[in-house]
A and B are shown apart, each in its own frame.
Chain A
């Protein structure tokens, strides 16, 4: 029904929506991660290596997401005892470490990247995963865990005085975000079919941050709006050819000032 080009655009858009949600969850608790690209990379590589070994795609996605979540626990445990801007610096460093690791990890192709990944990602799968993630975020807002995250974000002193375990709540939200980024990475690898470390660099993390900021960090549809806008607009701007990114950059500036 969609042309293969637009179907591919739709898949990447949905993957970016997942990435936006993966950052939205920790941001509910006031944690800004600049390392979501790193978690995506872990999910992408682990999942792709598994399907090459004939592991079923669904299982590989879960294991890839699990690996990213595990990395989230490992990086989050020390990181979440520190505050504010230092979390950003630490996650930024983490993203770079992951990128350099995969650039030198020969079993996964090292610097020349990894090709020959099976084309297993289908649009309905990614849309379903995005819808599930969105439903999860919407439900979280209305239960104990979501209230705890908002309380920590607004006033961690009051939150802790009301019996909220700060470290555990922050770690859980960070890990949940890593899990979703890992799954997004798995979908990405099986759509892109070729991955190398530079696809998961700092720009990937920064653009993910942009989805949430542009769409609005105040409600779960924010990252969706942001991801769709930031992904589709450059595609539509292909008509202006060489000026594409210049026009897009200018649009971002305009939107940042007069944000809808």
Chain B
């Protein structure tokens, strides 16, 4: 089994606070890999480190065997890692299609020649990006509402547009930060099948999520974080029965709560 993403001994301090303590985990190519844990466990911190938004205090991260620790987010994206945001960050002032086309930024009309050609309307990049954006909006299931301002969409649809934007960059690894947060049950079911469809396109997914049922349904592998440390990892069936996981989520009377 080859690891597409490999996190090795990553720690991160915020001032004197240790948010991540020596985290190691591998995400296998083609898998849906879930990252779970109680609030404050460090999931989003790890997520931000993988996407380049934060630098680790120590440790290394590698993508497809290449170390990219400390690389800027725009360069991480160009490497093939795209993300969404827990609090949706669509661009106001751009239409829904243009928002998705932002995701194509890394591969259309690059350099002086590409940009100039686009300015004179003699480049195919714009058309390629627009048709890609339409295809992806169809794929995530919001095409019927294309004329609507992106920020007027329901939260669930905004999340889908954001996923389409991430997919437009043609990533090999997609990072999804709590895509089901604030969604109704029916929306969660639809999301679960969308994530499967994305995986079937050959895209590996690293998923941070609180919605346990969703995770049990779609994850191939789970890493459980608690108080900045990995306390369990493995397939859903094994993690579900792990005493350390149960303790972290429910607490245990004969043991001090994890993290204190």
Residues of A within 8 A of B (CB): 136, 139-140, 142-145, 147-148, 150-151, 153-155, 157-166
Contacts and interface: CB of A to CB of B under 8 A. Distances in A.
Interface string B131-169: 000000000000000000000000000000000011001
15 contacts: A136-B119, A139-B119, A140-B119, A144-B114, A144-B115, A145-B115, A145-B118, A147-B101, A154-B91, A158-B90, A162-B102, A162-B103, A162-B169, A163-B77, A163-B169
A150 B90 CA distance: 11
B66 interface: no
Contacts of A159: 91, 102
Contacts of B165: 162
Given A157-B53, A159-B91, 11 more contacts: A139-B119, A144-B105, A147-B105, A154-B91, A154-B93, A157-B89, A161-B82, A162-B74, A162-B77, A163-B78, A166-B74
Contacts of B72: 160
A244 B53 CA distance: 54
Contacts of B103: 162-163
B83 interface: yes
Q: Which bracket fits the contact residues of B?
A: 35 or more
Interface in B165-203: 165-166, 169
Interface of B: 51, 53, 72-74, 77-78, 82-83, 85, 89-94, 98, 101-106, 108-109, 114-115, 118-121, 125-126, 129, 165-166, 169
Given A155-B89, A155-B91, A161-B53, A148 B105 contact: yes
B125 A144 contact: yes
A147 B115 contact: no
Contacts of B105: 144, 147-148, 162-164
Main secondary structure on B side of the interface with A: helix
Given A151-B102, A161-B83, A144 B108 contact: yes
Main secondary structure on A side of the interface with B: helix
Contacts, number: 85
Contacts of A143: 109, 115, 118-119, 126
A158 to B, nearest CB: 4
A71 to B, nearest CB: 20
Nearest to B92: A154
Given A143-B126, A147-B102, A163 B74 contact: yes
A40 B118 CA distance: 28
A184 B74 CA distance: 35
A143 B89 CA distance: 21
Contacts of A155: 89, 91
Contacts of B53: 157, 161
Residue from A145, A158, A159, A166 having most chain B Cβ neighbours under 10 A: A158
A200 B39 CA distance: 57
A224 B8 CA distance: 56
Nearest to A161: B73
B116 to A, nearest CB: 10
A161 B77 contact: yes
